[in-house]
Amino acid sequence: MFLNVRQPPFDDIRVRRAVNLAVDRAKLVELYGGPQVAAPTCQIVPPAFSGFAPYCPYTANPSRGGGWTAPDLERARGLVAASGRAGAPVTVDVGADVLGRPGPYFVSLLRDLGFRARLRVTPADVDYFGEIGRPGSRKQMGVFGWAADYLSASILLDAPFACRARGDARTANVSHLCDTGLDAAIRKARAAAPEDAPAAWAAVDRRVVNLAPVVPLVNGRLSVFVSKRVGNVTSHPTYQTLLDQMWVR
């Protein structure tokens, strides 16, 4: 879920962190089809990628492995109270297809946190991503997803979170985040030697999580159904099932 950092109430980092703390990612896993096809996450870089280091500051009872365990509503409500933004109106934007799944859940969650939330569904014949990606968009919050076209943390962290270049007609940074420290960390990671790049991108990932311009929900998992006569089923993080590696008896 993107949170527009230039629009109230998400211009306050305490509100953004509160939503991250309050969300029940286990419910979202079920909403997306269950643990066979989705895994909860608090961060942007997924486990299969170089630069992944488990990190989740938005959980109750932190696990030794650094993953999400449960929502922390007490801390979330405390942050909302401290922000003074309780009672603010929030419109949750979703698409008309699968992008609409989390919408009603987040409307309910925001109401529990004290906001006046409502759902807005973009019709199927309207380009949802074009709408939320318009420069200067005032949409407060909505569903967003990102898939890597090659196996690098840079594709997941640069375009969706770096400061947008002027003149762009459309942006992947739908949260409208522009943090000079984050941009500096991205430049450092891009310039890092191969042996130093994973740690540098992990630092970028942590900074994005701490700035909370989005609410990471789930990483997709691939389920493959094959005959008992098929062997050596191999999957790639971006190219999925590698057919040339399989054999049939």
58-92 CB burial, b ≥16 within 10 A, e <16: bbeeeeeeebbeebbbebbbebbeebebeebebbb
Ordered DSSP codes for 34-72: -TTTEEE-SSSS-TTSTT-----SS-SS--TTS------
For residue range 98-150, list pLDDT tens digits in order: 677 899 999 999 999 999 999 999 998 899 998 998 888 999 999 998 878 88
**Rounded to whole angstroms, how far apart are CA atoms 45 and 40?**
12
Class of domain 2-248: alpha beta
153, two tokens: 């943390």
Q: What gap in Å lies between CA 87 and CA 77, rounded to an integer?
A: 12
Contact 135, 171 (CB under 8 A): yes
Give the model confidence (pLDDT) of 144-194 as tens digits. Answer: 988 788 888 999 999 999 997 554 556 789 999 999 999 999 999 999 999
Averaged pLDDT score across all residues of the chain = 92
Supply the pLDDT for residue 189: 97
Phi, psi of 147 (to 5 degrees): -120, 135
- For tokens 């630069």, name the residue: 51
Q: What is the pLDDT of residue 150?
A: 81
pLDDT at 162: 94
pLDDT confidence tier of residue 29, bands split at 50, 70 and 90:
very high
| pLDDT value of position 148 | 80
Each residue's pLDDT tens digit, 58-95:
999 888 888 999 999 999 999 999 999 999 999 999 99
| pLDDT value at residue 72 | 98
